[in-house]
Chain A
Amino acid sequence: MHMLSLPLSLLLLSTTARAELVVVTSHESPISQLSRAQLAEVFSGRTRIVNGHAITPVEYENADRERFYQQVLGRSPSQMRTIWAKLLFTGDGQPPRVFGSYAEARSQLLADRGLITYIDSKQLGPGLKVIFP
């Protein structure tokens, strides 16, 4: 029993660590913290300016969208798609731009301090700062 539970608990720990999603931006961004509610507004396109600063959300291929929408934004993927359809077809904005990879998204974030995205905390590297949680 003990022999079985150790690998199991390690696996659980590993899963928990991988599951930590953080929202990041360039370390040069004047934004230091965003609330869950503000993130929901920004990613749904209803807000593009927070505390006087322009913010544009971006995504990348293989981003953990479903978990981010559910756990952080508190929205289902279908809710987000409905919101974006309304934005797109009324000329009021676009869904978040999707880059081909996280590496590409990261280089864009470093070049433009108005961009934000979400990553696994283990992917955090130099030049980026966490603004949520």
Chain B
Amino acid sequence: MPIRPLLLLLGLLALNLPAALAEDTPQLHLSGFGSLAATRTDDPAIGFKRNFQARANADEWSFEADSRLGVQLDLQLNPSWQGVVQVVGMQRERGKFQPTVEWANLAWQVNPNWRLRLGRMVTPVTSTSESREVGYAQLGARAPLETVGIYPMVGHDGADLRYRQSLGSGEARVQVFAGQTAFKLPFLEYEVDQVAGALFTYTLNDWTLRYAHTRIRDARATGGSYLETTRPLVAGLNMIAPFCAATLCSDTITRINRLSSGWGGHFNVLSLGYEDGSWSLQTEYATRKLDTFVSDGRSLVALLGYHHGELTPYLGFSRADSTNRQRAVQFAVSNPAVQPTANMLAGIVSRNLYEPQAANRKLYTLGLRWDVHEQLALKFQLDQIRHKYTDANYNGFYVRQPDADGQLRPYDGRLRLYSLSADFVF
């Protein structure tokens, strides 16, 4: 935990908690969740994984992408104070099953309207960001990656203030949060000095409307193989930068330099959900805008389920688009002697930095959730995926696979992802 939130936490403890503790007997509660989940693509050219995982598997059943185990310890100090620690283990950036502390905070319910939390929490970027690892809480096999994945980090260490109040016949909630975070990908490590945002939620009868705005600032790559392998490229780009004759050239080089000098961006997510005894609807539209070379993006998710006893068949549509930087770039320079070098560097940038982001896709989802027991749900899901660019070297959730010679396997842009999962709580 960073020092500043810790100091705040200690301040609050000194302010109120000892007196509160004297009045009540603290209660501990242990609970947990998990998923034993297998996935398989139908094409050896494309593997599936989470963006932060090291290994993707294609054309064979694998338990590595979606299987996980979470354990949570709740400490109810009294009606106003509550602490929580949640640890989730799954395959992570080193390709091993590894536990991570997802939640570790102390919440002060000041009164029915106000709540303050300090410590570690998952950043509430989308409506399923906070519950994305709790398979049992999802209608489908997994939280929709198209919207959840638009935010490259997970949580933050900091503070979170929520106000809830009646509004008309429903209830309105306003939540603001701020903090800092660090995050690891298989090839890159980040530190982010500022994560902040606000979200508004309104529930009325069976409907929930939600809007969230999240900003990050001073995100810096601090380690990882990506930083090492791009160092010569960045040095070369900085050499040709003074000769750039077009905005595209200078802008691209500036954005690439921000990977380690500090970048930022913002994320907007609008969600509408409906749940009654028969129908469940989840819709979400998300956008992101960044000032580094990572693409801006937008994504859409719609998932509709019908509850029939313990069976819930569902279908969905989602899409994710990189709205720029998915195609080759050209660097125009003022000195003809530098142009061949500029062309070579533009080729490297296009192949290695831009193309991996070109996983623009549409997904059609069909699935069945079967609540076989009070604490266990089985799910069967088929995703039919259409990638827009078939030549690009994708990374992220869907990963292009090489053949024995190291060349990308040919891909026609059509893929099926099969998912079987047993999601449980205890």
Residues of A within 8 A of B (CB): 37-38, 40-41, 46-52, 54, 70, 73-79, 81-83, 85-86, 88-92, 94, 114
Contacts and interface: CB of A to CB of B under 8 A. Distances in A.
Task: List the 7 closest A-B pairs by CB distance, nearest first.
Answer: A54-B112, A74-B277, A78-B371, A86-B137, A90-B130, A37-B205, A47-B171
B84 A91 contact: yes
Given A76-B307, A81-B374, A91 B105 contact: yes
Contacts, number: 92
Instruction: Among B74, B117, B166, find the residue whose CB has the most chain A CB atoms closer than 10 A.
Output: B166
Instruction: Among B70, B117, B205, B309, find the residue whose CB has the most chain A CB atoms closer than 10 A.
Output: B205
B31 A88 contact: yes
Instruction: Among B33, B131, B203, find the residue whose CB has the most chain A CB atoms closer than 10 A.
Output: B131
A52 B166 contact: yes
Contact of B137 (A37, A50, A89): A89
B290 interface: no
Given A74-B276, A91-B84, A82 B121 contact: no
12 contacts: A41-B170, A49-B112, A51-B166, A52-B165, A76-B307, A78-B310, A81-B374, A82-B377, A85-B134, A85-B425, A91-B103, A114-B112
B275 interface: yes
Nearest to B72: A89
B276 A50 contact: no
B137 A82 contact: yes
A94 to B, nearest CB: 8
Contacts of B414: none
B258 interface: no
B166 A50 contact: yes
A78 B376 CA distance: 10
B136 interface: yes
A48 B112 contact: yes
Contact of A89 (B134, B307, B371): B134
A10 B309 CA distance: 31
A26 to B, nearest CB: 16
A37 B121 CA distance: 31
B166 A46 contact: no
A76 B113 CA distance: 29
A22 to B, nearest CB: 20
Given A46-B208, A76-B307, A82-B136, A41 B166 contact: no
Contacts of A54: 111-112
